[in-house]
Amino acid sequence: MITKDVSYSDNGKTLTGYLADGSNGRKVPGILVCHQGGGLREHEKERARMLADLGYVAFALDMYGAVAASREQAMELLNGVSQNQQLWGDRIRAGIAQLKAQPHVDAKRLAAIGFCFGGMTVIEAVRASDELSCVVAFHPGLTHLPESDPRKVTGKVMVCAGQKDPLIPDDARTRFLKLMREADADLQYINYSRAGHSFTDKSIAEFNIPNFEYEPATDRRSWAAMRDLFDETFAT
């Protein structure tokens, strides 16, 4: 496996992503990894390495050009991107461009996964770009969805969500399903009854937020579901 930091830019902003190449010199699918609200941390880098262990080339993009030092700064960074749809899309496309630029990536076989804000980002990505064959959103926030969205959804969508997630109340879940239905999306929405938010993140306990908790069974099951979707999507 080859791992390294990758510097790039978007709209004059210097960004630093993380590459994990498990291709062994072959042309393989490329997977974009989208970070949580605090910025690109070890959690997403570990997931990129896990994808490389499966034989993929994974690129963890940088949406902010910074890592938040507090919850308040994380929300400021998150809102600064997510409330500017043009910027959000530009950062996604810049990440996809870096993924495609890797010499061992088959540019016709691309996917994206994301966690929390990154889950929101891959849901946005499947509308902002038609280059992604599928996306997987782990515990995404779904509380600020529009009433309608005319943009197409061409890639397959999988959402792995906890029933106890405070960022996915019942009305938000219903609105999301409605939006996907209106887009005629190929959607799998998997609801895990014992999980809350951030169920993939072993470090989340340090923040002491109600219903933000690592849940190992859900982490394992959702990762297996992702692998099944990739196997289906990238079958040759």
Residue spans of the domains in the chain: they are 2-233
Asked if the model's pLDDT at residue 4 lies above 70, the reply is yes
pLDDT at 143: 87
CA distance 29 to 110: 6
DSSP three-state, residue 118: helix
The two structure tokens encoding residue 118: 């990154």
Q: Mean pLDDT over all residues of the chain?
A: 95
End-to-end C-alpha distance for the chain, whole angstroms: 23
| Rg of the chain taking only CA atoms, in angstroms | 16
Q: How far is CA 155 from the centre of its chain?
A: 14
Confidence of residue 207 (pLDDT cuts 50, 70, 90): confident
- Give the pLDDT band (50/70/90) at residue 235: confident
Identify the pLDDT of residue 236.
61
pLDDT at 117: 95
Backbone CA torsion sign across 35, 41, 43, 48: positive
What pLDDT score does 209 carry? 79
Amino acid letter at 82?
S
Q: Hey, what amino acid is at 16?
A: T
- The tokens for 104 are 């061992």
Instruction: Provide the whole-model pTM.
Output: 0.95
Residue appearing with tokens 């390495």: 49
What's the mean pLDDT in 135-160? 94
The whole-number average pLDDT for the span 8-31 is 96
Cα–Cα distance for residue pair 226/236, rounded to 1 Å: 17
44 token code pair: 């997403």
Cα–Cα distance, 29 to 113 (Å, whole number): 13
Q: Report the CATH number of the 2-233 domain.
A: 3.40.50.1820
Q: Is 217 helix (H, G, I), strand (E, B) or coil?
A: helix
Task: Give me the pLDDT at residue 132, please.
Answer: 97
Q: Indicate if the pLDDT at residue 160 is higher than 80.
A: yes
Residue 125: pLDDT over 80:
yes
- Does position 72 have pLDDT exceeding 80, yes or no? yes
